[in-house]
């Protein structure tokens, strides 16, 4: 299993339903995962059964303080400004939508690639 197909399906449904108005948001598959770029910048992704969100260094500590959220560390080195959300923190679609909103809010302020 490269990534959780069920989580990917839920994510795709939320993106197309709640964030269709966000210009520049595109689906991508890379490095055995699934996710979304915003204006060419990595924004939201799925690695195995976890959600990865790019939220910036100001928001990340607040999210990481929540149950089921931890710093993103896929290679042994923490990526600042990113968070990994465990399945138990994504049981409700509202939670998944909230994490997506944080990522979209941050990445929308970055220069396009």
Give me the residue spans of the domains in the chain. 5-107
Which tens digit of pLDDT belongs to each residue from 19-74?
Answer: 999 999 999 987 678 899 999 999 999 999 999 999 999 999 999 999 999 999 98
Q: Does an H or E element contain 99, and which? A: helix 93-107
CB atoms within 10 A of CB 28: 15
Q: How far is CA 62 from the centre of its chain?
A: 15
Tell whether the model's pLDDT for residue 1 goes beyond 80: no
Pairwise CA distance, residues 24 & 39, whole Å: 5
CB atoms within 10 A of CB 104: 22
pTM: 0.94
Q: Does an H or E element contain 54, and which? A: strand 50-54
Distances in Å between the Cα of 14 and the Cα atoms of 18, 95, 99, 103 are: 5, 11, 11, 14
CATH topology of domain 5-107: 3.90.1150
């Amino acid at each position: 299993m490269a990534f959780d197909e069920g989580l990917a399906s839920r994510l795709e449904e939320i993106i197309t339903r709640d964030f269709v108005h966000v210009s520049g948001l595109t689906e991508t598959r890379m490095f055995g995962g699934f996710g979304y770029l915003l204006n060419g910048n990595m924004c939201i992704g799925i690695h195995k059964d976890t959600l990865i969100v790019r939220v910036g260094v100001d928001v990340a500590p607040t999210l990481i303080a929540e149950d089921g959220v931890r710093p993103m560390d896929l290679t042994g080195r923490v990526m600042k400004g990113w968070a990994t959300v465990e399945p138990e923190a994504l049981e409700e679609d509202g939670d998944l939508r909230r994490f997506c909103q944080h990522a979209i809010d941050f990445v929308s302020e970055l220069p396009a690639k």
